[in-house]
């Protein structure tokens, strides 16, 4: 069953694309790392012998690891400036990179400090490790936090991540907060760069308390306020295609949530055993005053259980997130390219993007075209085009190469292109568009891989 909403006319407004603050944010993050390095440099006197060199290297690795921990948590605080102006997927990639830096620096810190202390005490590494953990203040808590961070790092390795459920990965990563809390105090108690340096100590407290405030506000208090105000509940569930279901939700003053076509929320459906997991699903129709809709493909236990939701089930939402919106538009011509359940945010954009809009929908066969009836209705209403890229009768995949795209769209370079679909598909289409001469600033995409 297909749910068709009352359609709104796409606004014919001047383009006012906002420049992404990504460069400014990255500059500030690297400036922070430079300031930490300067702190170590100013507090480091002459270095004597192997023990001195090892200990000094361990100190700077520890300081930078502590800074990276704060950045790691701050990047996933769901700050609107980052989520909506830079894009959730890009911020997630920065978070993943910060995680790799954190683990690498942490390993270097542990190994170098223990090696330096062992050389200084003329002891074995094992004996020195036991001495540090059992006898030094705050080190038992710090060791527990370090073990947790290593566990988070291991579960983030791509080969292992593909073999674990989203739920397991999600809850392991929540332990990052506990790890950072456990490890924080030893940085000030044992850190030579803070002992007797009140300005440096105050700055370190400000860094961590600032990040904690961002997490508390945007990941706890903000969602509580949103859900108490809007009171979301499931209204109905509809089958759209094999294994694909739409969930229609109603609530109060939903137009005041600030959501836009192309964005997503993180949803908890408080029923059918789904309330323990927060999962990102895009809006599959423009938000209305009292109705929101998502469309979900059954790819795991959580998404498969969506079909069993009952009307009246409470819904907990966090968002809106994502930067794949009209704000990215730089031209009055837009091409939307979607595959699989990636059609959902594009369906919402197809209705609302101003100007000349064409949608290219990739699927295995006609039976897999979710929301096809709505797409055709919108195309007729606004005079737009819907094109389908389906497998041939022999199973052969359609050609979406640069040459094929240029042939289908001779003025392709003049289009903004929005891509959404499986990671491999999106990457292939992105490369084809680049080869076809589309500027990077006109290719807009977000990936929700965990």
Q: Say if CB 251 and CB 292 are below 8 A apart.
A: yes
**327-445 has the same fold as 231-321:** no
Flag whether pLDDT at 412 surpasses 60.
Answer: yes
CATH topology (fold) of 231-321: Elongation Factor Tu (Ef-tu); domain 3 (2.40.30)
What mean pLDDT is predicted for residues 290-302? 84
Query: What's residue 9's pLDDT?
Result: 42
Of all residues in the chain, what percent carry a pLDDT higher than 90? 51
Query: What's residue 144's pLDDT?
Result: 92
Query: What's residue 264's pLDDT?
Result: 93
What global pTM score does this model have? Answer: 0.80
Query: What's residue 396's pLDDT?
Result: 87
Reported as a single tens digit per residue, the pLDDT across 244-287 is: 899 999 999 998 998 999 999 999 998 767 777 788 899 999 99
The CATH code of domain 327-445 reads 3.40.50.80
Band of residue 61 on the pLDDT scale cut at 50, 70, 90? very high
Of all residues in the chain, what percent carry a pLDDT higher than 70? 93
CA dihedral of residues 215, 216, 218, 219 (deg, nearest 10): 80
Flag whether pLDDT at 393 surpasses 90.
Answer: no
What mean pLDDT is predicted for residues 52-80? 92
- What residue spans define the domains of the chain? 22-226, 231-321, 327-445
């Amino acid at each position: 069953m297909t749910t068709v909403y009352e359609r709104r006319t796409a606004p014919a407004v001047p383009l006012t694309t906002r420049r992404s603050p990504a460069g400014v944010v990255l500059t500030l993050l690297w400036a922070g790392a430079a300031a930490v390095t300067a702190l170590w440099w100013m507090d480091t006197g002459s270095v004597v012998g192997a023990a001195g060199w090892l200990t000094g290297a361990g100190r700077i690795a520890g300081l930078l690891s502590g800074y990276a921990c704060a950045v790691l948590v701050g990047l996933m605080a769901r700050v609107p400036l980052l989520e909506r102006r830079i894009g959730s997927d890009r911020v997630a990639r920065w978070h993943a990179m910060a995680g790799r830096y954190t683990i690498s620096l942490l390993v270097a810190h542990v190994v170098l400090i223990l090696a330096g202390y062992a050389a200084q005490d003329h002891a074995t590494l094992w004996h020195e490790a036991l001495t540090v953990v059992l006898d030094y203040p705050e080190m038992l808590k710090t060791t527990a936090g370090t073990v947790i961070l290593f566990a988070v790092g291991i579960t983030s390795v791509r080969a292992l991540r593909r073999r674990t459920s989203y739920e397991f990965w999600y809850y392991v990563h929540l332990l990052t907060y506990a790890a950072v809390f456990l490890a924080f105090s030893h940085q000030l108690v044992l850190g030579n760069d803070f002992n007797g340096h009140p300005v440096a100590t105050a700055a370190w407290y400000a860094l961590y308390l600032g990040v904690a405030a961002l997490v508390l506000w945007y990941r706890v208090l903000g969602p509580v306020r949103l859900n108490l105000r809007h009171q979301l509940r499931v209204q109905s569930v509809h089958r759209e295609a094999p294994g694909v279901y739409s969930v229609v939700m109603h609530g109060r003053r939903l137009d005041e949530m600030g959501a836009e076509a192309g964005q997503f929320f993180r949803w908890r459906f408080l029923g059918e055993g789904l309330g323990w997991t927060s999962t990102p699903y895009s809006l599959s129709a423009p938000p209305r005053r009292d109705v929101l809709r998502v469309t979900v493909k059954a790819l795991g236990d959580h998404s498969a259980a969506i079909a069993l939701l009952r009307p009246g089930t409470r819904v907990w939402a966090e968002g809106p997130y994502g930067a794949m919106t009209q704000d990215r538009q730089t031209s009055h011509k837009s091409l939307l390219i979607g595959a699989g359940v990636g059609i959902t945010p594009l369906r919402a954009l197809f209705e609302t993007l101003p100007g000349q809009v064409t949608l290219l929908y990739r699927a295995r066969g006609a039976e897999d075209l979710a929301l096809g009836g709505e797409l055709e209705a919108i195309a007729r209403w606004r005079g737009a085009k819907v094109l389908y890229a389906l497998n041939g009768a022999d199973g052969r995949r359609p050609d979406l190469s640069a040459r094929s795209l240029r042939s289908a769209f001779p003025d392709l370079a003049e289009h903004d292109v929005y891509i959404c679909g499986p990671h491999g598909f999106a990457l292939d289409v992105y490369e084809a568009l680049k080869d076809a001469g589309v500027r990077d600033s006109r290719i807009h995409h977000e990936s929700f891989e965990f």
